[in-house]
Chain A
Amino acid sequence: MSGHIVILGSGPGGYVAAIRAAQLGARVTVIERDAVGGVCLNCGCIPSKALLSVVELGDKAKKAADLGLLLEGSVGYDLTRMVARKNKIVDGLVKGIGTLFKTWSIEVLQGTGQLIDSRSVKVVKRDGSETTVTGDAIVIATGSSWPNLPLFPVDGKQIMTSKDALDADRAPATLLIVGGGVEGCEFAALFSGMGTGVVMVEMMPRILPLEDEEISAMMSRELTKRGVTTHVGTTVEKVERLDGSVKALLKNGMSVETEQVLVSVGRGLNSKGIGLEKVGVAVGARGEIVVDARMETNVAGIYAIGDVVGKAMLAHVASAQGKIAVENILGHRREIDYRVVPAGIFTLPEIGRVGLTEQQAREEARGRGDNPETAVKVGRFRYAGLGKAQGTGDTAGLFKIIADAGSGRLRGAHILGAHATDLIHELALAMEARLTVSQITDMIHAHPTFAEGILEAAEDVNGMAIHLARKQSR
Chain B
Amino acid sequence: MEPTDLRYHQEHEWIRVEGKLATLGISNFAQDALGDIVFIDMPKAGTMVTAGQQIGEVESTKTTSSIYTPVSGKVAKTNAELKDHPELVNADPYGKGWIAVIELSSPKEVDALMTAAQYESFLASQKE
Interface residues of A, Cβ cutoff 8 Å to B: 221, 224-225, 227, 382, 384, 390, 393, 395-396
Contacts and interface: CB of A to CB of B under 8 A. Distances in A.
B63 interface: yes
A221 B39 contact: yes
B120 interface: no
Contacts of B60: 384
A390 B61 contact: yes
A225 B63 contact: no
Contacts of A393: 61
A382 B61 contact: no
Contacts of A384: 60-64
- Label chain B's interface by main secondary structure: strand
A286 B62 CA distance: 47
Contact of A225 (B39, B62, B64): B39
Contact of A382 (B38, B39, B63, B83): B63
Contacts of A221: 39, 41, 59
A396 B64 CA distance: 10
Interface string B63-86: 110000000000000000001000
Contacts, number: 22
B63 to A, nearest CB: 6
A395 B41 contact: no
Highest count of chain A CB atoms <10 Å: which of B38, B59, B83: B59
A372 to B, nearest CB: 24
20 contacts: A221-B39, A221-B41, A221-B59, A224-B41, A225-B38, A225-B39, A227-B83, A382-B63, A382-B64, A384-B60, A384-B61, A384-B63, A384-B64, A390-B61, A393-B61, A395-B38, A395-B61, A395-B62, A396-B38, A396-B59
Given A224-B41, A395-B61, A396-B38, 7 more contacts: A221-B41, A227-B83, A382-B63, A384-B60, A384-B62, A384-B64, A390-B61
Nearest to A398: B64
Interface residues of B, number: 10
Contacts of B39: 221, 224-225
B37 to A, nearest CB: 11
Contacts of B59: 221, 396
B60 to A, nearest CB: 8
A451 B85 CA distance: 31
A264 B29 CA distance: 45
A393 B38 CA distance: 11
Which residue, B38, B39, B61, B62, has most C-beta atoms of chain A within 10 A?
Answer: B61
Contacts of B41: 221, 224
A224 B60 CA distance: 15
A27 B21 CA distance: 80
B75 to A, nearest CB: 17
A225 B61 CA distance: 14
**Closest A-B pairs by Cβ, 4 of them:** A395-B61, A225-B39, A384-B62, A384-B63
A224 B41 CA distance: 9
A304 B64 CA distance: 47
Nearest to B83: A227
Contacts of A224: 39, 41
B36 to A, nearest CB: 9
B44 to A, nearest CB: 12
Q: Select the residue from A224, A227, A384 with max chain B CB neighbours within 10 A.
A: A384
A375 to B, nearest CB: 28
